[in-house]
Amino acid sequence: MSQYRTFTAADAVEYARQFGGVANPHTLVDSQEVGDGNLNLVFKIFDTAGVSRVIVKQALPYVRCVGESWPLTLDRARLEAEVLIEHGKFCPQHTVNILHYDPDLAVMVMEDLSDHAIWRSELVNGVEYPQAAGQLGEYLAQTLFHTSDFFQHPYQKKADVIRFTNPELCDITEELFFNEPYEIHERNAYPRALEPLAESLRDDEALRLAVGGLKHRFYCHAEALLHGDVHSGSIFVAEGCLKVIDAEFGFYGPMGFDIGSALGNLLISYCAAPGLLAPREAAAARENRLNDVREVWLSFSESFLALAAEKSRDRALAVPGYSREFLRKVWSDTIGYCGTELIRRTVGMSQVADIKNIKDEAMRVECVRQAIILGRSLILLADHVADPEALIARIRQNS
Ligand code: SR1
Ligand code: MG
Cα distance between residue 7 and residue 176, in whole Å: 29
Q: Which residue is closest in CA terms to ligand 1's atom 2?
A: 38
Ligand 1 pocket: which of 170, 176, 218 to mutate (most atoms within 8 A of CB): 176
pLDDT computed for residue 2 by the predictor: 62
> Quick check: helix, strand or coil at residue 121?
helix
Strand partners, 102: 107
pLDDT computed for residue 358 by the predictor: 98
Q: Which residue is closest in CA terms to ligand 1's atom 8?
A: 229
Is 160 known to sit in a ligand binding site?
no
Sequence-distant (≥ 6) Cβ neighbours of residue 136 within 8 angstroms: 94, 230, 235, 242, 244, 262, 296, 299
Q: What is the dihedral of CA 176, 180, 181, 185, to 10 degrees?
A: -130
Q: Which of 83, 19, 12 is closest to 41 using CA atoms? A: 12
The length of the chain, given as a count of residues: 399
Whether 345 contacts 268, CB under 8 Å: yes
Q: Per residue in 52-69, is it b (16+ CB within 10 Å) or e — as a string?
A: bbbbbbbbbeebbeeeee
Is 41 known to sit in a ligand binding site?
no
How much distance in Å is there from the Cα of 246 to the middle of ligand 2? 5
Is 229 known to sit in a ligand binding site?
yes
Q: Which domains does the chain possess? A: 9-111 (3.30.200.20), 117-398 (3.90.1200.10)
Q: Tell me the whole-structure pTM to 2 decimals.
A: 0.98
- Ligand 1 close to Cβ of residue 350 (< 6 A): yes
- Ligand 1 close to Cβ of residue 285 (< 6 A): no
**Distances in whole angstroms, Cα of residue 329 to Cα of each of 191, 358, 380, 386:** 34, 36, 15, 11
Cα distance between residue 295 and residue 244, in whole Å: 17
pLDDT in tens for each of the 399 residues of the chain? Answer: 469 999 999 999 999 999 999 999 999 999 999 998 889 999 999 999 999 999 999 999 999 999 999 999 999 999 999 999 999 999 999 999 999 999 999 999 999 999 999 999 999 999 999 999 999 999 999 999 999 999 999 999 999 999 999 999 999 999 999 999 999 999 999 999 999 999 999 999 999 999 999 999 999 999 999 999 999 999 999 999 999 999 999 999 999 999 999 999 999 999 999 999 999 999 999 999 999 999 999 999 999 999 999 999 999 999 999 999 999 999 999 999 999 999 999 999 999 999 999 999 999 999 999 999 999 999 999 999 999 999 999 999 987
Alpha helix stretches (DSSP H) within 99-204: 119-124, 132-146, 154-163, 167-178, 195-202
Cα distance between residue 149 and residue 312, in whole Å: 8
pLDDT computed for residue 1 by the predictor: 42
Cα distance between residue 350 and residue 344, in whole Å: 7
Cα distance between residue 344 and residue 214, in whole Å: 14
Antiparallel, parallel or unpaired: β 224-226 and 251-253: antiparallel
At residue 270, φ and ψ (nearest 5 deg) are -60, -50
Q: pLDDT tens-digit profile of 208-225? A: 999 999 999 999 999 999
DSSP string spanning 239-262?
Answer: TTEEEE---TT-EEE-HHHHHHHH
